[in-house]
Structure 1
């Protein structure tokens, strides 16, 4: 990863200028573009600044460094991810709710692969950031609440063995998402989406929970 914060240039008249409140979302949008093209390991803060039309030093005023910017992106991604899981939590019984959430999980990955990949790259993120930790924990609680029940999800320690059913479900769905992103289910248009809708519910039905 290249922080590229050592040199500062003056923004030329042809480059964009932002009100202070508008620069942060502009940098996030530009950074997501870079992630989509280069992946987390190829992320460049300098390239992000160039695409946003600001000086290479500008991101430091809002995020401190590349880790801070990537953490902000992952935080927003987890918030949107959690919203998707919550919206999918519909069904007459637990099995139906698990299937619906599983499909929503994979659909999020397919619709937003750049941010989805970043969300799990802990070494690149400030996992101690309170907002990041809160949004990531909320996403897991939404899944755990469907699998084991909302009351159990609120009272358990993250390392409690009682989490085994939820970890099993999470592992299956996350693994399915990664297989779908890698093209395992075919390279024809929307093959991955069809697998998520038709195959994943059948896979989840094999969980003994």
Structure 2
């Protein structure tokens, strides 16, 4: 007789439990050896149960990455909305929130931006949420341009420059290459680098 826990899985909770198990296993053993069978075993369901939600390993990993991008978008948007009017301060807050997200969710982040390659045409939901997280940055730059405090170059290219900075910081921090302990000193470094970036993005627009 199936357990009551398994019954609850079949009524809506199994998909998220499989995603959670995949994240845990990625943290323990990496992505390469992950399998749906292994994830099913961790959750305590039959080997066939994951296929009700995911066609294969790539589909499961795409769901994990999708969840990560949505959480990143929320973190960036929350930081942005916490500063009502100043677009330059919003840009700084978004950058800091981005790096803090990466450090708080390292397995999500490495899956989102690491060596694993997705066929985005097969996973339109993942492509859409990844784009929405990027658009938070683009829109903030457009606000700064409208306010006359950022240069009037292509906002998407300017967003790519900003993204390149915070992504590099995130990966260096995750790999313990920055030689700065996480804490107030690290946050001060993030603020300093964000201000240097903003000066470049502002150019002569504010003069």
Same fold (TM over 0.5): yes
- In structure 1, the residue matched to 2:195 is 205
What is the deviation of 1:195?
4.8
Task: Confirm or deny: 8 A CA contact 1:71 1:132 kept in the other structure.
Answer: yes
Shift of 1:186: 3.7
Q: What residue in structure 1 maps to residue 129 of structure 2?
A: 135
Q: Is the 8 A contact 1:107 1:196 kept in 2?
A: no
Cα drift, residue 93 of structure 1: 2.2
Whole-Å Cα distance in 1 between the matches of residues 155 and 137 of structure 2? 14
* Structure 2: gaps spanning 5 or more residues: 147-152, 202-207
Of residues 79, 84, 98, the one that matches 2:70 is 79
Structure 1: segments with no counterpart, 5+ residues: 1-11, 153-159
CA contact (8 A) 2:62 2:118 kept: yes
Counterpart check, 1:107 vs 2:100: yes
Q: 2 CA distance for matches of 1:195 and 1:178?
A: 18
Please give the secondary structure, in 1, of the residue aligned with 2:14: helix
Aligned residues: 188
Return the offset for 1:57: 2.1
The 2-side partners of 1:137 and 1:53 are apart by: 35
- How many Å separate the matches in 2 of 1:162 and 1:30? 38
* Pairwise CA distance, 1:38: 2.1
Richer in helix (by share): 2
Residue 8 of structure 1 is matched in structure 2 by none
Task: Give the secondary-structure state (helix, strand or coil) at the position aligned to 1:98.
Answer: helix
Residues 189-204 of structure 1: matches in 2 within 5 Å? Answer: 191-204=181-194
Quote how far apart the aligned CAs of 1:59 are.
Answer: 1.3
Secondary structure at the aligned position of 1:144 is classed as helix
Mapped to 2, the partners of 1:57 and 1:150 lie a distance apart of: 51
TM-score, normalization by structure 2: 0.80
Task: Tell me the TM-score normalized by structure 1.
Answer: 0.79
**Structure 1 pair 41–130 and aligned structure 2 pair: CA distance change class (3 A):** same
Deviation at 1:22, TM superposition (A): 1.9
String of CA shifts for 1:12-61, please: whole Å, max 9, x gaps.
Answer: 97896232422111111111111111222342322211101112222122
